[in-house]
Structure 1
Amino acid sequence: MVASANEAPARPRARRIVLVCALTLLPVLLAAALWVGVRGLLARGELAQAQSVAATLQNEIVTGDETAAGVSYTRLAGHAAEAAQLTSDPVWRLAETVPVFGRNLAVVRQLAAGVDDVARQSIQPLTEVAGSVTPASLAPVDGAVNVEPLVQAQPAVAAATSALLATEQRLAGIEGAGLLPPVRDALGQVQGMAARAADSLSAVNSAVQLLPAMVGADGPRNYLVLFQNPAELRSTGGLSGALAVVHAESGRLELAQQAGATELPIFDSPVLPLPPETLALYRDRTGRYVGDVNLTPNFALSAELAREMWNRRFGVQVDGVLAIDPVALSYLLAATGPVTLPSGDVLTADNAVQLLLTGVYERYSVPLQQDAFFAAAAASVFEVVSAGRFSTGGMLAALQRAGAEHRVLLWSAHPEEQAVLSTTSLGGGLPVSDAHTTRFGVYLNDATGAKMDTFLRVQVGAAKRVCREDGRPTYAVEVTLTNTAPADAAATLPESITGDGSFGVPRGNVKTLVTVYGAPGLQNLGVARDGAVVGYHPTTDSAYPAGATYPVSSLDVELAPGQSTALSFGWLGVDEAPELVVTEITPAIHLENKKIVGNFCESAVLC
C-alpha cells in the first residue's frame, strides 16, 4: 500500500513529539530519581543516628537519669521524625508506584514511620516516668517497698506498651522476599529490634501492673515459697524440702512462717482432682506429697496443689506460690554480698550451691536438722534482701538470669494476675511454639530417692532436618546423661546423699525419669539409647488448666558411677515448619547445651 501525500509527514511529526516529550520528561525523571536517592541516603543516616541514641537512652531510662533521658529522647525523636519526613513527601510516594523498585521505597517509608511511631508513642511516655520508677526506687527500705511510683506510672507504661506492640505487629507483617539486600537487611534489623523491645517492655508492663497489688498495696497478701532442691530433681527444678510463707502488706514484706516438707503429711488421696494425663504420667503422689507436686512440668498445677496442702496443714490459704532454687539464690548473693548464718557459716555466691545441696547432707544426717539449716539460711538471706542491702543493678541482673533459666517461678491465686503471669517465663507453663520457633520440653525427675543429682551432668540439644521424600521435617532431641559420682561413691558418700537403696537403686547409682514433650501436632517416632531402639512410654499431656495437647515420650535411665548414656527422641513435623528449634529444660545443676552436628536421618528412630 502506498501512503498518500498527506500521510507522509505524520510519522516524522509523531516521532518528533515523542522525542520532545521524552527530552522534556527526562530531566524531571532524573531530578525525581536524584531527589528520592538523596532523601533516601539522608533518611538512612537519620535512622542510624536514631539507633545509636536509642541504645544510650535505654540505659538512661533503666538507671533513672531523667535529665539525660530527656535530652536523648529529644535527639532520638528528631532523627526519627526527620527520617519519616524524608520518606513521605509526594515525590517519594509517587516513586513507590515504579514496578519492583517502588516496593523497596515503600518498605523504607514504613520502617521510618515505625521508628517515628515508637519514639513518639512509646519512648516519650517512658522518659517522663524514668526518674520515678527505677530499680533503685523499688528496693525495699526497712522491709518495705514504696509502690506509689509504680501506681503513678501504670497508665504511661501501659500506653507505651500497647503502642509498641501495635507498631511491632505492623512491622512484622512486612514481607522481606524480593527486596533489595540493603532494604531486606534493614527490615530484618528493625523487625528484630522491635520484637525484642516489645518483649522487654511487655515484661516491664506486667511488673508495673502486678507488683503493687502483689506486695499488698490493695490489702494483705500471703505467699508460699517453695525452696526447690535440684540435688533431687523434679520437672520444675527439684524437690521442695523447705517451705515458707511471706506476708506482704502495704509494701512491707515479712517472713511469717517456715516449715520442712516432713512437717506436712503424705495425704491418703490427692488434695485436688488431678488431670487424667498427670495421673498416667506421674501418678497420684503428685497430689499427695508436697515434695512431689512438681513432678509435673505444669507449675500452675504444682502451685495449686502446694497451696491446698499448706491450707490443710496450717489453715492458711495463700494468695500465690513462689519457687526458687539454690542456684538462683547464688545469683542473688552476688548482689547482696556474703551473708553470715546463725551456724557461723558464711553463705556466698561461690559456695551457696555446694553448701545447700551437698554440704548440709554431709554435715547432718537427721532430716529435721537439715530442715533447720535450710530455714536459717532462708531467713538470713530474706533479712538482707528485705532490708534492701544489695546492689540494685546486680539484683536486677540476678533476677533476669534466674528467670531466663526458669529457676524462679510464680503463680497467683488471683485470676487476673495469673492471666498475665502465665504468658511469661515466670509462669512455668509448657513450651509454646510459634511461627518462628518449634519448642520442645525436656523434663527430669529423680527416681533414686536421694540427693545424687548433684553428680548428674545433663547435655541437651535439638535440631530439624528433612529426611523424607514428602518434605515433612524430622526432629531429633538428644539428651546425654552422665553420673559423675566417684567410683567408690557407695562407700565414701553419706547415706543422706546416696540413699539407702529402699527405692531399688544401688547406692552411688543415679536413676532418672526422662520425659520429652514435643510441640503440639508433632508425631512421636520413638526413642533410641546409644544408637539402639529402646522401649519407652508414648503418651500425651496438656497445658494446665486448659490448652494444647502435647505428644510425650518418657523412659527411665539408671547410671552407675562414671557411666554415660545418649538418648535420641524422634519426632515428625508438619509440612510448613520454622527453622529455629529450642528446648526448655529442667534447671539442673550441671546443664549444658549440646549442638547436634551431621545428618541424623540415619538414626535408628528416624530412618
Structure 2
Amino acid sequence: MREVNGDNDAQDEFVGPDEGEGRPKMLRHLRRRHVIFAGLFVLILVVGFGCWLALRAFEAKSNLEAARNSAQQAKDALLDGDTDGAAKHADDAHSHAQHARDATHSVPWNIASAVPWIGDPFTTGQEISDVVVGLATDVLQPAATVGAVLSPDHLLQGNRVDVQVLRDREPELSTLAAAATKLNENAQAISDPKYVSLLSDARSQLQDQTANVADLLDNTALAARIVPSMMGADGTRTYFMAFQTNAEARGTGGLLGGFGLLRFDNGTATVDTLASNRDLDGASASVDLGREFTEMYGFTNPTTDFRNSNLSSHFPYAAQIWKSMWAERTGMNVDGVIALDPVALSYVLGAVGSVRMPDGEVITKDNVVELTESTAYSRFPNDQVARKNYLQDIASEVVRKITGRVESPQELLDALGKAVGERRIAVWSSVPAEQELLEETPLAHVVPDDPAPYAGVVINNLGGNKLDYYLRRQIEYVADGCSAETRNSTVTIRLSNEAPKTGLPEYVAAAPGIRPDIPLDVPRGAMVTSVRLVATTGATLTSALVDGQQVPVFSGTERGHPSFEVQLGIPPGQSGVLSFRLSEPTSAGAARVPVQPLIDTVEPKVSVPQCSG
C-alpha cells in the first residue's frame, strides 16, 4: 500500500497517462494559435498600411499631374495675355498642388520616407509637391494678378505703350522674379528618386517647368526695368534703325541695306529719315574698338566702309560704328541702334496686316522677303538707284503700318517674340546701364566673355553679291564627356548653294569681291564664303577639313575667344561640309550655339555634355 505524502502526490494518483501528455500539446497549440493570430494581425496591418499608402500615392500622382498641367496652362495663358485664364489655371494648380502635398505629407507617407533607401522616392515625392505648391501659390497666382495690368491689350493702346504702368509694376515683377528663381533652385535640388522612373520623369518635367517660368518672369521684370527709359518715359529717345539684307551675309545678319530714325516719346513711336545705304557712302566712324577688333577686321576698313562695318557677330561693334557714322554725317548723336531684317518684317506684317504701295502692289507677310531679297534685283537689274528707292518705299509703308494703330497687340507681341527668338532683332543702347541690362537678354547679340562651351558660326559673303538668299546651312556641335580637364570636340557646318545655274542678274550672281583692289576670279553663281568659328575660350584647333581634306585656316581672337576662319567656294547646286576639330577646356555650363540670322532658319544639333564647375 502506497503512502500518501501530500496533496501533489494525492493529485498525481488521479491523473491518467493520457492527460499528463496532453497539457504540453495544448500549450503548444495555444502558442501556435497566438503566433498565427499575431502574424495575421501584422499582415492585416501591413496590407492596410500598403493600401493606405497606395491610396495616398494615387492621390499624390493624380493631383501632381493635374497641378503641373494647370501650371503650364497658367504660364501659357500669361504669355497669351489671357489674364482671366491665367488666374483660373493658377487657382486650379494651387488646389491640386495642395491636395498632392497633403497626400505626400500624410502619416503613411512620412513613415515610408523614413526608411533608408526604400524611402528615397517618397522623399522625392514630398519635395516635388512642396515645389508645385510654391509654384502655384508664390508665383503663378500673384503673376496672374500683375498680368491683368500688364496684358498687351492693356499696355498697348492704339500706337502708344503705357510705359508708366510698366515702370510702376516693376517692383512687383522683380519680387515675383526673385520668388520664381528661388523656387527654381529648390526644384533643381529635388533629390534623386533612385529606382522609381516615374518620379524621375516627374522631377525632370517640373525642373524644366520651373526653369521656364523663372526665365519668363525674370525677362518680364528686366523689361519693366529697361523698356520705360528706352521708350522715352524720361524724354524723347532716338535710335538708328538698320535694315539688314540677308541676301549678302554679314556677321550680324546681313549687309546694311537701308536705315531710318526711330523716335520714342513717352511710349509713342514715330519713324522718319528713311534712307538707303548710299547716304552713308564716304562716312567714317571715330571709334576705337580695341586691338583684337583691329587685328581681325581692320584690313577691310570697317570704320570707313559701311559694307564691311558688321563683319563681326558682336552687334555692339556694328552699332557703335553706325552711330558714329551718322554723327559724322549729320551731327546727331542717337541714343542707340536697332537692327532687323525682312524676315522679321514678314512676321510683323502677319500680325498687323498687309500694306498697299502707291502703285497698287500689295506687300504681305508671304511676299515681303522674296520681294526685298530677290525680286527687286531682277526687277531692277541695272538700275541700283531705282532698286534702292523701291526698297525704301516698301520700308516706309511697312514702318508706317507698324507704328500706326495696332488692332491686335497680342499678335504683334507674338510676332516680335518670334523674331527675337530667331535673333532677327538686335538692340544696343548708348547708355551703359541700359546696355548692361540688354546684355542679359537675347536682344544684345553679344559674343560672351565667359568660359562656357561656345560655337558661334559666322558667315560673311566675300563675293560682294546677293547669293546668300540661296544659302542653306546645317550646324552640329559635339564634344566628349566631363572626366578630364580638356576634351575633344567637333563643329560641323554643311553649306548648300541652291541658286539656279542660269537666269540670275549679274548684280546677284557675279563676284566683284568686298574690296575693289582684291578682285575675284570665280564661276558665275558660285558663292565665295568666309566661314568663321568663334570657339570656346581656351580651345585649340586640331584640324579643319573641307569634304574630308585638310585646308588652311586664318586664326585670330574675338573677345577672348579663339577664332578660326576658312574661305571656300561653292558652285551653284552643290554643297560643302566643313569640320573644325578642336581640343577645348572642359568648362562648366550649357553649350551655346547662336544662329546667325540669314534667310534660312537653322536648328543646330548640340551633343555637348553639361559639366559642373
When residues 68 and 539 of structure 1 are mapped into structure 2, their CA distance, relative to the original with a 3 A threshold, is closer
Is 1:486 aligned to residue 500 of structure 2? yes
Look up the equivalent residue of 2:246 and give its one-letter code. Answer: P
Cα distance in structure 2, aligned partners of 1:556 and 1:140: 50
Is 1:513 aligned to residue 530 of structure 2? yes
Query: Is the CA contact 1:540–1:552 (under 8 Å) kept in the aligned structure 2?
Result: yes
When residues 55 and 178 of structure 1 are mapped into structure 2, their CA distance, relative to the original with a 3 A threshold, is closer
Q: For residue 16 of structure 2, what is the aligned residue in structure 1?
A: none
Look up the equivalent residue of 2:506 and give its one-letter code. Answer: P
Is 1:451 aligned to residue 497 of structure 2? no
When residues 29 and 534 of structure 1 are mapped into structure 2, their CA distance, relative to the original with a 3 A threshold, is same
Q: For residue 586 of structure 1, what is the aligned residue in structure 2?
A: 596
When residues 283 and 388 of structure 1 are mapped into structure 2, their CA distance, relative to the original with a 3 A threshold, is same
Q: For residue 245 of structure 1, what is the aligned residue in structure 2?
A: 261
Query: Is the CA contact 1:139–1:388 (under 8 Å) kept in the aligned structure 2?
Result: no
Cα distance in structure 1, aligned partners of 2:485 and 2:163: 55
* Higher mean displacement: 403-412 or 210-219: 210-219
How far does residue 461 in structure 1 lie from its aligned partner after superposition?
Answer: 2.4
- Residues 398-432 of structure 1 show CA distances to partners (whole Å, capped at 9, x for unaligned) of 22221111111111222332222212211102268
Cα distance in structure 2, aligned partners of 1:83 and 1:556: 60
Look up the equivalent residue of 1:201 and give its one-letter code. Answer: L
Task: Mark the runs of 5 or more structure 1 residues left unpaired by the alignment.
Answer: 1-17, 543-548, 598-607
Q: For residue 392 of structure 1, what is the aligned residue in structure 2?
A: 409
Cα distance in structure 1, aligned partners of 2:224 and 2:346: 26
When residues 577 and 219 of structure 1 are mapped into structure 2, their CA distance, relative to the original with a 3 A threshold, is closer
Identity of aligned residues (%): 28
Cα distance in structure 2, aligned partners of 1:22 and 1:576: 59
SS at match of 2:273: strand
What is the root-mean-square deviation in Å for CA atoms of aligned residues?
3.3
Is 1:280 aligned to residue 295 of structure 2? yes
- Residues 307-355 of structure 1 show CA distances to partners (whole Å, capped at 9, x for unaligned) of 1221222222222211100111111111122211235432111111111
Is 1:340 aligned to residue 351 of structure 2? no
- Residues 350-405 of structure 1 show CA distances to partners (whole Å, capped at 9, x for unaligned) of 11111111222233344443332232222211211111345434323322221111
Query: Is the CA contact 1:464–1:581 (under 8 Å) kept in the aligned structure 2?
Result: no
Look up the equivalent residue of 1:560 and give its one-letter code. Answer: P
TM-score w.r.t. structure 2 length? 0.84
Query: Is the CA contact 2:451–2:587 (under 8 Å) kept in the aligned structure 1?
Result: no
When residues 432 and 184 of structure 1 are mapped into structure 2, their CA distance, relative to the original with a 3 A threshold, is farther
* Higher mean displacement: 204-213 or 109-118: 204-213
**Mapping for residues 164-313 of structure 1, pairs under 5 Å:** 164-176=180-192, 178-266=194-282, 271-283=286-298, 285-313=301-329
**Mapping for residues 308-327 of structure 1, pairs under 5 Å:** 308-327=324-343
* Higher mean displacement: 192-201 or 493-502: 493-502
- Residues 220-242 of structure 1 show CA distances to partners (whole Å, capped at 9, x for unaligned) of 11111110111111011001121
Q: For residue 31 of structure 2, what is the aligned residue in structure 1?
A: none
Query: Is the CA contact 1:286–1:296 (under 8 Å) kept in the aligned structure 2?
Result: no
TM-score w.r.t. structure 1 length? 0.85
Is 1:38 aligned to residue 55 of structure 2? yes
Cα distance in structure 2, aligned partners of 1:296 and 1:153: 37
Look up the equivalent residue of 2:593 and give its one-letter code. Answer: T
SS at match of 1:233: strand
Q: For residue 393 of structure 2, what is the aligned residue in structure 1?
A: 376
Query: Is the CA contact 1:125–1:156 (under 8 Å) kept in the aligned structure 2?
Result: no
Cα distance in structure 1, aligned partners of 2:493 and 2:67: 44
- Residues 8-46 of structure 1 show CA distances to partners (whole Å, capped at 9, x for unaligned) of xxxxxxxxxx99999998877776655544333312221
Query: Is the CA contact 2:120–2:192 (under 8 Å) kept in the aligned structure 1?
Result: no
Cα distance in structure 1, aligned partners of 2:449 and 2:416: 22
Query: Is the CA contact 2:260–2:272 (under 8 Å) kept in the aligned structure 1?
Result: yes
Is 1:109 aligned to residue 123 of structure 2? no
Cα distance in structure 1, aligned partners of 2:606 and 2:413: 33
Query: Is the CA contact 1:431–1:584 (under 8 Å) kept in the aligned structure 2?
Result: no
When residues 594 and 98 of structure 1 are mapped into structure 2, their CA distance, relative to the original with a 3 A threshold, is closer
Cα distance in structure 1, aligned partners of 2:107 and 2:345: 59
- Residues 113-166 of structure 1 show CA distances to partners (whole Å, capped at 9, x for unaligned) of 11111111111221112332222333451x322334323432322221111111
Look up the equivalent residue of 1:584 and give its one-letter code. Answer: P
Is 1:328 aligned to residue 349 of structure 2? no
**Mapping for residues 70-81 of structure 1, pairs under 5 Å:** 70-81=87-98
Cα distance in structure 1, aligned partners of 2:582 and 2:234: 48
Larger radius of gyration: 2
* Higher mean displacement: 295-304 or 495-504: 495-504
How far does residue 556 in structure 1 lie from its aligned partner after superposition?
Answer: 1.0
